[in-house]
């Protein structure tokens, strides 16, 4: 690897330090604000779910006191605990946008911004920095299905790249200079880790919370004079070498377009289902099939589908939470109930005899481009797999936010959060937004009963 010529760590630091909103196309700010809104919505929805209950119980017993909000609750804690808790909530349902980088980036950047009472523009710039840093390194994991790179060996990008992105976001919010940025990135580079095996367990959102808290911690340490290696990514025995073997063309592409081309120029791909992306195309195919044909689930003999490598890890779940990574479970619920909602992933649903019967009738057919349902009388029904649908417009993402926030925020709070994010770059203090996300009037019983 010609990593000695790359100076990748320094390139990330320079971009993080120097980025300004006016240098990016207008679509970058627009999409960043939609990503923030989507991330906040799925975070407060998680308060009503099993992982959110566990996180809140932990926070009430262990979090310190401070000036930062755990979104959708009455908990005020220190910046690092807020980053940790919000980072967990943001990914607890696997309902955040398909990119996943909003999670640790927003949790770390907003904790720093709220603690220092920074402006909305400062948060927006920090958020964009973190997402762009994360995505300029994504090629490390983009070929995992082809057996190339660390992703093919079981490492998951959220934990490997998340702390680095969160450190850049927090450091940008804190206004660190380039040398302190370098120190923060170097500290984060050696404090990462996550396993693909985590999918379908609460360990997966724990990794995003850990990445957010770690990134913020690294930025704060650097601000106070903590140092690290300035070539922690590309240097000998650095992160890239530790993740090797990685093809040279992948290594040379890392960060090559950073600051010139923005990932956020593309539409946000907001999820319609609170489950692993790999389950979505087949779930939508089953729903289309159900509309076209009258299907008696009791007469289904077999469902054939490419179950994908990662959902196969939890093919027959034992817990509702695992169902988010079980194609068989998602197909069963969709066929039986004509929907797949965030609150369908329960132990009770997993235990349903009709769900169990359909899951055990589901057969993996790798590479198949359709879902095929065979009835007991031999009738075969087939539906072609299409690319998964996304919420990409202001209206659809705002409506998703309203549905997600309904149990944790008042209608007025929901309206205020949407309006504040629309005008984020003009906010004098990000605390205007965090106050709108705070439950202080007893509206939400779900947050208090956890």
Q: For residues 129 and 172, what is the distance between their CA atoms, to the nearest angstrom?
A: 7
Q: What is the pLDDT of residue 17?
A: 97
Q: For residues 309 and 319, what is the distance between their CA atoms, to the nearest angstrom?
A: 19
Q: For residues 351 and 338, what is the distance between their CA atoms, to the nearest angstrom?
A: 18
Q: What is the pLDDT of residue 172?
A: 98
- Unique residue bearing structure tokens 């984060």: 188
- Shared fold status for 3-265 and 277-384: no
Tell me: the pLDDT tens digits for 32-42?
999 999 999 99
**CA distances from residue 181 to 10, 134, 168, 235 in whole angstroms, order as listed:** 9, 15, 7, 17
Q: Which option is the CATH number for 3-265: 3.40.190.10, 1.10.540.10, 1.10.4100.10, 1.20.1090.10?
A: 1.10.4100.10
Which residue ranges make up each domain of the chain?
3-265, 277-384
Q: For residues 341 and 121, what is the distance between their CA atoms, to the nearest angstrom?
A: 34
Rg, C-alpha atoms of the chain: 22
> Considering only CA atoms, which of 223, 170, 158, 165 is closest in space to residue 194?
158
With H, G, I as helix, E, B as strand and everything else as coil, classify residue 196.
helix
> Considering only CA atoms, which of 38, 8, 82, 18 is closest in space to residue 264?
38
Q: What is the pLDDT of residue 3?
A: 42
Q: For residues 445 and 56, what is the distance between their CA atoms, to the nearest angstrom?
A: 13
Q: What is the pLDDT of residue 445?
A: 42
Q: For residues 347 and 344, what is the distance between their CA atoms, to the nearest angstrom?
A: 9
Long-range CB contact pairs, 250-254, < 8 A, 24+? 250/139, 250/140, 250/143, 250/148, 250/149, 251/1, 251/2, 251/3, 251/6, 252/2, 252/6, 253/139, 254/6, 254/8, 254/136, 254/137, 254/139, 254/140
Contact 138, 161 (CB under 8 A): yes
Contact 16, 171 (CB under 8 A): yes
Q: What is the pLDDT of residue 14?
A: 97
Q: What is the pLDDT of residue 208?
A: 97
CATH class of 277-384: alpha beta
Question: Which tokens hold the place of 166?
Answer: 């969160």
Q: DSSP string covering 21-55, please? A: GGGS-HHHHHHHHHHHHHHHHHHHHGGGSHHHHHH
pTM of the model: 0.94
Please list the ranges in the chain whose pLDDT falls under 70. Answer: 1-6, 144-147, 310-312, 440-450
Q: What is the pLDDT of residue 329?
A: 96
Tell me: the pLDDT tens digits for 380-399?
999 999 999 999 999 999 99
Distance of CA 278 to the CA centre of its chain: 14
With H, G, I as helix, E, B as strand and everything else as coil, classify residue 310.
coil
Q: Between vectors from CA 435 to CA 432 and to CA 440, what angle results, nearest 5°? A: 160
Write the DSSP symbol of residue 266: S
Q: What is the pLDDT of residue 440?
A: 65
200: alpha, beta or left? (left if phi > 0; alpha if psi -120 to 50): left
| Bridge partners (DSSP) listed for residue 373 | 303, 381
Q: For residues 404 and 419, what is the distance between their CA atoms, to the nearest angstrom?
A: 16
**CA distances from residue 447 to 111, 155, 243, 347, 417 in whole angstroms, order as listed:** 20, 33, 40, 21, 18
Q: What is the pLDDT of residue 141?
A: 86
- Unique residue bearing structure tokens 């879902």: 371
């Amino acid at each position: 690897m010609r990593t000695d010529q790359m100076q990748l760590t320094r390139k990330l630091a320079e971009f993080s330090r120097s980025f300004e909103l006016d240098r990016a196309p207008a679509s970058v700010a627009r999409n960043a604000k939609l990503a923030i809104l989507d991330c906040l919505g799925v975070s407060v929805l998680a308060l009503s779910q099993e992982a959110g209950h566990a996180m809140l119980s932990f926070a009430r017993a262990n979090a310190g006191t401070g000036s930062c909000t755990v979104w959708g609750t009455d908990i005020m804690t220190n910046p690092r605990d807020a980053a940790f808790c919000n980072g967990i909530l943001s990914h607890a349902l696997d309902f955040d946008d398909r990119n996943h980088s909003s999670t640790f980036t927003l949790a770390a950047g907003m904790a720093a911004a709220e603690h220092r009472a920074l402006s909305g523009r400062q948060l927006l710039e920090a958020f964009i920095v973190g997402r762009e840093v994360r995505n300029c390194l994504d090629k490390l994991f983009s070929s995992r299905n082809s057996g190339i790179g660390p992703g093919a060996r079981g490492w998951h990008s959220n934990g490997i790249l998340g702390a680095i992105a969160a450190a850049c976001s927090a450091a940008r919010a804190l206004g660190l200079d380039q040398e302190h940025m370098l120190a923060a990135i170097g500290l984060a580079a050696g404090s990462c880790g996550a396993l693909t095996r985590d999918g379908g367990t609460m360990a997966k959102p724990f990794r995003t919370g850990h990445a957010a808290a770690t990134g913020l911690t690294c930025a704060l340490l650097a601000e106070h004079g903590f140092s690290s290696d300035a070539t922690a990514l590309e240097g000998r025995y650095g992160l890239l070498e530790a993740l090797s073997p990685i093809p040279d063309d992948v290594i040379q592409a890392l960060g090559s377009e950073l600051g010139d081309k923005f990932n956020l120029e593309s539409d946000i791909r907001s999820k319609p289902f609170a489950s692993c992306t790999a389950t979505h195309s087949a779930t939508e195919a089953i729903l289309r099939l159900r509309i076209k044909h009258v299907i008696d689930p009791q007469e289904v003999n077999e469902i054939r589908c490419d179950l994908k490598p990662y959902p196969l890890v939890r093919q027959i779940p034992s817990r509702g939470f695992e169902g988010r990574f079980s194609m068989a479970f998602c197909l069963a619920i969709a066929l039986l109930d004509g929907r797949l909602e965030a609150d369908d992933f329960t132990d009770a649903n997993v235990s349903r005899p009709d769900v169990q019967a359909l899951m055990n009738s589901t057969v993996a057919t790798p590479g198949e481009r359709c879902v095929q349902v065979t009835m007991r009388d031999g009738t075969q029904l087939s539906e072609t797999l299409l690319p998964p649908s996304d919420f990409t417009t202001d209206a659809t993402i705002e409506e998703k936010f309203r549905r997600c926030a309904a149990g944790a925020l008042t209608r007025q709070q929901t309206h205020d959060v949407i309006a504040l994010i629309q005008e984020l770059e003009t906010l004098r203090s990000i605390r205007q937004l965090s106050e709108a996300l705070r439950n202080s009037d007893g509206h939400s019983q779900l947050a208090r009963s956890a």
